[in-house]
Structure 1
Amino acid sequence: MYAYTLCFVRRERELLLLNRFARPNMGKWNGIGGKIEPGETPLDCIVREIREETGIRIDKPEPAGTVTWLTKTGVSGMYVYLASVPPSFSFPTPVRVDEGVLDWKSADWVLHPDNDGIADNVRQFLPGMLDGETMDHRFSFDEAGHLVGYAKAPLPALGSAR
């Protein structure tokens, strides 16, 4: 079981992103999420994190895959979810919250190859997820933390991730 969750809240072709005040990914835009608490399922965690970080109640985000980090010291990762809200959903941004600044960004902007303001590796795993592909996205890092490899693999049954 992985220790983290992440969700991209979608309103048509816009994504609600968080520009983080703290590490990891300080100063970069990313989805909403956090650490799974003891006794909590990944689904319970992401529902709680969305509510805590945005005030939005989303009861059934859809599992979109996993992201795995392979390092010399071990394996870690996160469960990734997508949640859709209707086009008429009103959530005025930008808005400052405890974790950072929330803002709606167009998916084209998020995925643009020249956009360095997005959390590392999002442009690699998010396009497939937005297209309905459910995979495990595996990222390998060297001792210095530099990305040295990326591969997609079939996702094992999510079981407790739902």
Structure 2
Amino acid sequence: MTFSTSSSRVASTTQVPTTTTTTTTNTTPSFTLGLVRCKENDKILLINREQPPHLGKWFGIGGEIKDTSISPLDSLNIQINNQSGLDLNNFINRGILKWEIYSKEDNQDKSNNSKVSKYEEKIHKIFHKNLKNLNIPVSGSLYIFTSDISLKQYENYRTPLKYNEDMGILDWKSFDWCLNEFNYGIVDFLKFLLPIVFNSNENDLFIVKYYDLDLIETLYKPGDAIDVSTW
């Protein structure tokens, strides 16, 4: 697999609105994401989530940082062990991913009385109500870590496996499967991350932007995670 080192990528030409549905956010990442790869056969360990967010989709392992007295890496190691049983000591910090979720109402053109359909309005209200109920901010960020394991370690970790009954099924997936344009079963921004993230570093910043459920823009900014004012 050849990994891209492009410094910027835009997923669509949709114009991004200037405001989100909230005005402030904590710039310190509140979540972790761990990506475990076997480089020798281009396989990555994913979990089919049984909990929101990303319910029913394949994603990396990680979660909310609940104990801020420990490092993000220590938090991830606890999450990895709890969700997969793996005890890995070679995770590398690959940077920070920031997400922004915009309301379609934010970008309506009031000058020409643009309106959404009643169906779209209903979906919008349900979506943002669920975000609030799940305590998911419309903007936030997470630390990204990666780990490479040997082919022998891969062969010894047999999947599919449901290690934690509350979290979902674990399975090894090929990079080609993950990046297939017709694969709608994977969390969409992973298709943006995977070709880049194993070559990034802790100072890199990834940005994903949504209109409600639709991913509209992705950006990779090497070095920009250092200065939070650029977020």
TM-score normalised according to structure 2 size: 0.63
Q: Distance in 2 between matches of 1:117 and 1:14?
A: 17
Of the candidates 150, 153, 157, which is equivalent to residue 91 of structure 1?
157
- The structure with more radius of gyration: 2
Deviation at 1:67, TM superposition (A): 1.2
Q: Distance in 1 between matches of 2:53 and 2:81?
A: 20
The amino acid across from 2:207 in the alignment is R
Aligned to 1:31: 60
The answer to which structure has the higher strand fraction is: 1
RMSD over equivalenced CA pairs, Å: 1.9
Aligned to 1:49: 79
The amino acid across from 2:191 in the alignment is R
Aligned to 2:214: 146
The amino acid across from 1:88 in the alignment is K
Deviation string, structure 1 residues 43-96 (Cα, Å, up to 9, x no partner): 111111111111110123011222101245763011111111111011011011
Q: Distance in 1 between matches of 2:138 and 2:84?
A: 32
**Range with bigger deviation, 87-96 or 147-156:** 147-156
Q: Distance in 2 between matches of 1:36 and 1:59?
A: 18
Deviation at 1:141, TM superposition (A): 2.7
Deviation string, structure 1 residues 97-153 (Cα, Å, up to 9, x no partner): 3200000111111112221111121101221113x13431111234x3433322221
SS at match of 2:152: coil
Q: Which has the higher contact order (CA 8 A, sep 6+)?
A: 2
Structure 1 segment 107-146 matched on structure 2, within 5 A: 107-130=175-198, 132-134=199-201, 135-142=204-211, 144-146=212-214
**CA spacing shift, 1:40–1:108, aligned 2, 3 Å:** same
Matched pairs, number: 156
Indicate conservation of the 8 Å contact 2:47/2:171, yes or no: yes
Aligned to 2:141: 77
- What is the percentage of aligned positions where both structures have the same residue? 28
- Pair 1:8-2:35 in alignment: yes
Q: Which runs of 5+ in 1 are unaligned?
A: none
Aligned to 2:16: none
The answer to which structure has the higher helix fraction is: 2
The amino acid across from 1:34 in the alignment is G
